[in-house]
Chains A and B, each alone.
Chain A
């Protein structure tokens, strides 16, 4: 069975505002204080990663008002409100609070007068304030929300960080993926996950990690379950790693075509991203571990701008053009001149 990524796991549909604020304080280290309706945070839910600044809605244009998003009130909105007479301020605020807004954040230490907070209190919309500047806060909040609503999938294979390149060893059950991973760990590389690999899509990157349950355990056929971190220590494991190459192990099959030059690149589509795919038939005497290291080094070389397959092809092409256009009378030998037994 060729390596086929699986359907995405149904993503989180919503997170409560209290969970969001709790995690922002605890994991993202943002200082957030509650201004109004904190008791409603458990019943208010955020269901998308996008944010909205309700400037136009406050000014009166409520068509296309994306009220279901987290609302950010920064300097512009606050100053706009301050420039209005008190009754107009209330009117503007009532206009937006009649929508089902999940939560309002006041950024850059901005404050709302009590009579406006009163309106949100009546509507049951939680309001929080933070000293962070608006753009910085929006960046952190969006990053957090994107992670929360990221699509994920689970694949079968072993994920190892080889020289800083994330390689997923895939293939049929019992073909020896875990053994390759163990051998790589033994050679100083770092295991991310064995058997069950969670892939999370973050913008244009796929992050691989283990599940909480199977974290850094491994099954070796005939031996059972072993704990890689206890045996090899902290240097042998890694919490998460970007997926960069899929290495698919297959049994040797003479009828199957194998890549010989490295000029053609295969890839596999995982959650909408194309990941380089290498098919590796297993034959007696083949050291998969060393090949995995070579794959990682080759990937690095290409990343730094040197493609060996292309370099070799260029050499052949220049040699051919020399023969057809170059000087005549040069003997055709694979090596032009032996210097003698010097080097």
Chain B
């Protein structure tokens, strides 16, 4: 199991579309993926779970990845978040 802290950079926060992008990408990997925030731990492959966090810009998330492809999965997901989910801020 590996963990990493990331910060949300999108000015609109983690709304529906970025959440969907995150969940879609996470679902491609076999590893279990959890996101920790405010003491909550949600399944990163569940869109409602991710959206429940309603993470705002600057929010700090801790990503937890556990499984055979955890390293690759974590690296890809961190890239997605750092690249603002490949979206221009509306």
Residues on A lying within 8 angstroms of B by beta carbon are 1, 6-7, 9-10, 154, 156, 173-174, 194-196, 211, 213-214, 217-219, 225
Q: Which of B40, B41, B46, B54 contacts A173 (CB 8 A)?
A: B46
Whether B13 sits at the interface, judged by CB under 8 Å, is no
Given contacts A154-B41, A156-B42, are A214 and B48 in contact (CB under 8 A)? yes
Given contacts A156-B49, A213-B52, A213-B54, are A196 and B27 in contact (CB under 8 A)? no
Q: Which of A9, A154, A173, A214 contacts B45 (CB 8 A)?
A: A173
Structural contact, B40 and A225, CB atoms closer than 8 A: no
B74 to chain A, nearest CB (A): 17
Structural contact, B45 and A196, CB atoms closer than 8 A: no
Pairs across A and B, CB under 8 Å, 11 listed: A10-B39, A156-B49, A173-B46, A194-B48, A195-B46, A196-B42, A196-B48, A213-B54, A214-B49, A219-B48, A225-B47
Q: CA A217 – CA B51 in complex, angstroms?
A: 11
Question: Which residues of B, 36-66, contact A by the 8 Å Cβ criterion?
Answer: 39-43, 45-49, 51-52, 54
Residue with the greatest number of chain A CB neighbours at <10 A, chosen from B27, B32, B39: B39
Q: CA A217 – CA B48 in complex, angstroms?
A: 8
The interface residues of chain B lying within 8 Å CB-to-CB of A213 are 51-52, 54
Q: CA A253 – CA B61 in complex, angstroms?
A: 35
The interface residues of chain B lying within 8 Å CB-to-CB of A194 are 48
Chain B residue nearest to A218 (CB atoms) is B48
Q: Which of A6, A154, A173, A214 contacts B51 (CB 8 A)?
A: A214
Chain A residue nearest to B44 (CB atoms) is A173
Q: CA A211 – CA B52 in complex, angstroms?
A: 8
Structural contact, B41 and A6, CB atoms closer than 8 A: yes
A29 to chain B, nearest CB (A): 31
Chain B residue nearest to A156 (CB atoms) is B43
The interface residues of chain A lying within 8 Å CB-to-CB of B32 are 1
Q: Which of B40, B47, B54 contacts A9 (CB 8 A)?
A: B40
Question: Which residues of B, 1-47, contact A by the 8 Å Cβ criterion?
Answer: 27, 32, 39-43, 45-47
Q: Which of B27, B51, B52 contacts A174 (CB 8 A)?
A: B27
Given contacts A173-B27, A214-B52, are A154 and B46 in contact (CB under 8 A)? no
The interface residues of chain A lying within 8 Å CB-to-CB of B47 are 195, 219, 225
4 shortest interchain CB distances as A-B pairs: A195-B48, A173-B45, A156-B43, A10-B39
Q: Which of A1, A10, A195 contacts B49 (CB 8 A)?
A: A195
The interface residues of chain B lying within 8 Å CB-to-CB of A225 are 47-48
Structural contact, A219 and B54, CB atoms closer than 8 A: no
Given contacts A173-B27, A174-B27, are A196 and B41 in contact (CB under 8 A)? no
Chain A residue nearest to B26 (CB atoms) is A173
B65 to chain A, nearest CB (A): 13
B35 to chain A, nearest CB (A): 11
Q: CA A156 – CA B54 in complex, angstroms?
A: 17
The interface residues of chain B lying within 8 Å CB-to-CB of A174 are 27, 45
The interface residues of chain A lying within 8 Å CB-to-CB of B42 are 154, 156, 196
Q: CA A219 – CA B52 in complex, angstroms?
A: 13
The interface residues of chain B lying within 8 Å CB-to-CB of A218 are 48
Chain B residue nearest to A174 (CB atoms) is B27
**A195-B46, A195-B48, A196-B42 given; 20 more Cβ-contact pairs under 8 Å:** A1-B32, A9-B39, A9-B40, A10-B39, A154-B42, A156-B43, A156-B46, A156-B49, A173-B43, A173-B45, A173-B46, A174-B27, A174-B45, A194-B48, A211-B52, A213-B51, A214-B51, A217-B48, A219-B46, A225-B48
Q: CA A156 – CA B52 in complex, angstroms?
A: 12
